[in-house]
């Protein structure tokens, strides 16, 4: 179980990206974080595994306090969090297999990593996960030879091979076409169910969030302004997240479906990804 309390992040520029965000993610639920660009979605997810250092609040994973850890202890807790990135962040010049096995680095010595000497168990697991994400037979391809969808599948395999306790997913579909996006989302929810782990996912496509998540969290200006089931995310709630209109008063003007085509509408306040 991941529980985040009052997470704060103020960048050295004085920019307050997060203003006390709290959230719990348990079981094998898929939680989608939505919100306009600059709302703090990425900062939020990156503060959880401390790729970005939060300036306040706490993050706990299965009772282990993540904030404040350093060195080996931080690495140990990072092994339990699989992260998937918008730009895939595969090591381009390495093979698919090396990229997947890099998910096991937290468990091998530096010398063994240098010689690419992973245990038979790790290698078997890597093959199995590659098969699961539909990339069987691609283990010797170089990562930069793959298509966008295939790369994201490698990214997912790298996270899954860690046997994480949670998947942190930062805009997994922003670099993909709509069809591939759906396939990637299918895969992520499938993994959550099969491996019985929760998935916390940043996403700017509201429709994808609605169809794939169990719960939706809306961020605006670093604050949580919505939390509820996909069904509860009505137009008023969307307005509250994307236009800052008070979701409670019902004063919001009529808003079309939040597809990417209407990004240019409104008074320029709707910014995306």
Residues in contact with another protein by the rule CB under 8 A:
49, 51, 75-79, 81-83, 85, 87, 89-94, 98, 102-106, 108, 110, 113-114, 155, 158-159, 162
What's the min distance (Å) between Cβ of 155 and another protein? 8
Beta strands in the chain (DSSP E): 2-10, 16-25, 30-34, 56-61, 64-65, 81-84, 166-170, 199-202, 215-220, 223-228
Judged by beta carbon, residue 76 or residue 194, the one nearer another protein is 76
What's the min distance (Å) between Cβ of 152 and another protein? 12
What's the min distance (Å) between Cβ of 145 and another protein? 14
Alpha-carbon distance of 55 to 43, in angstroms, equals 11
Judged by beta carbon, residue 164 or residue 218, the one nearer another protein is 164
What's the min distance (Å) between Cβ of 126 and another protein? 13
Alpha-carbon distance of 199 to 107, in angstroms, equals 23
Judged by beta carbon, residue 20 or residue 106, the one nearer another protein is 106
Alpha-carbon distance of 126 to 177, in angstroms, equals 27
Of 62, 77, 68, 20, nearest to 44 (Cα)?
20
Tokens of 67: 């904030």
What's the min distance (Å) between Cβ of 84 and another protein? 9
What's the min distance (Å) between Cβ of 229 and another protein? 30
Judged by beta carbon, residue 6 or residue 11, the one nearer another protein is 11
What radius of gyration do the chain's Cα atoms show? Answer: 19
Give Cβ neighbours of residue 238 (< 8 Å, ≥ 6 apart).
206, 255, 258
Judged by beta carbon, residue 5 or residue 79, the one nearer another protein is 79
Judged by beta carbon, residue 42 or residue 258, the one nearer another protein is 42
Contact present, 167 and 198 (Cβ < 8 Å): yes
Please compute, for residue 40, the number of CA atoms within 13 A of its CA located in the half-sphere on the CB side: 26
């Amino acid at each position: 179980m991941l529980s985040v309390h009052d997470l704060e992040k103020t960048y050295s520029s004085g920019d307050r990206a997060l203003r006390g965000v709290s959230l719990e993610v348990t079981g094998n639920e898929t939680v989608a974080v939505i919100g306009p660009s600059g709302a703090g979605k990425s900062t939020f997810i990156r503060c959880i595994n401390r790729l970005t250092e939060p300036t306040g609040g706490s993050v706990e994973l299965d009772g282990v306090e993540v904030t404040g850890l350093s060195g080996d202890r931080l690495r140990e807790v990072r092994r339990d969090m699989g992260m998937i990135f918008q730009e895939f962040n595969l090591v381009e010049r390495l093979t698919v297999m090396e990229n997947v096995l890099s998910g096991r680095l937290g468990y091998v010595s530096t010398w063994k990593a240098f010689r690419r000497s992973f245990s038979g168990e790790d290698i078997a697991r890597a093959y199995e996960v590659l098969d699961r994400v539909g990339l069987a037979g691609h283990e010797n391809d170089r990562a930069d030879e793959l298509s966008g969808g295939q790369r994201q599948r490698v990214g997912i395999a790298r996270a899954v091979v860690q046997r994480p306790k949670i998947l942190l997913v930062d805009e997994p579909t922003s670099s993909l076409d709509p069809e591939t996006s759906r396939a990637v989302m299918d895969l992520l929810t499938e993994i959550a169910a099969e491996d019985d782990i929760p998935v916390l996912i940043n996403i700017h496509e509201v429709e994808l969030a609605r169809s794939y998540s169990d719960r939706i969290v809306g961020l605006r200006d670093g604050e949580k302004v919505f939390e509820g089931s996909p069904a509860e995310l009505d137009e008023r709630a969307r307005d509250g997240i994307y236009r800052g209109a008070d979701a409670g008063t019902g004063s919001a003007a009529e808003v079309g479906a939040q597809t990417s085509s209407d990004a240019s509408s409104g008074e320029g306040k709707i910014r995306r990804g």
